[in-house]
Amino acid sequence: MTELRLLRLSRGWDPVQLIGRMKIAAARDGVTLPAVYLLVRLVFLWENQRSTVPGYYVGLLRRVYGERPALVGGAR
C-alpha cells in the first residue's frame, strides 16, 4: 500500500472526504479544483502510483495531511 493511501486510510477518510478537504484548502488559495468525480479518479491514480502528483497538488496534500514533505511527494 502506498504512503498516500496509508495517510488517507489512517485518518479514516474515504476519497470524497479527502477531496472535500482539498477543495477547502484550494479555495483559501483562490483556486477552483476540478469536479469531484474527476478528482476521485486522480486520487486513485496517485494512490496506486499510476500517475505522478502534480506540483500544486503536492503542496495541497501536504497542507491537508499536515505531514512532512517527504511523506507526500510525487507518486513516482
Dihedral sign computed on CA atoms, order 5, 1, 58, 64: positive
The model's pTM is 0.86
Instruction: Write down the pLDDT at residue 75.
Output: 47
Long-range contacts of 23-28 (CB under 8 A, 24+ apart): 25/60, 25/63, 25/64, 26/60
The confidence score (pLDDT) of residue 39 equals 98
| pLDDT of amino acid 71 | 55
pLDDT tens string, the chain, 76 residues long: the values are: 889 999 999 999 999 999 999 999 999 999 999 999 999 999 999 999 999 999 999 999 999 998 765 555 554 4
Q: Which residue has the cell 511527494?
A: 73
Would you state the pLDDT for residue 50?
94
| Cell numbers that stand for 13 in this block | 477518510
Q: What is the pLDDT of residue 76?
A: 46
| Three-class SS state of 44 | helix
Q: Do 60 and 22 form a contact (C-beta atoms < 8 A)?
A: yes
29: left (phi over 0), alpha (psi -120 to 50) or beta: alpha
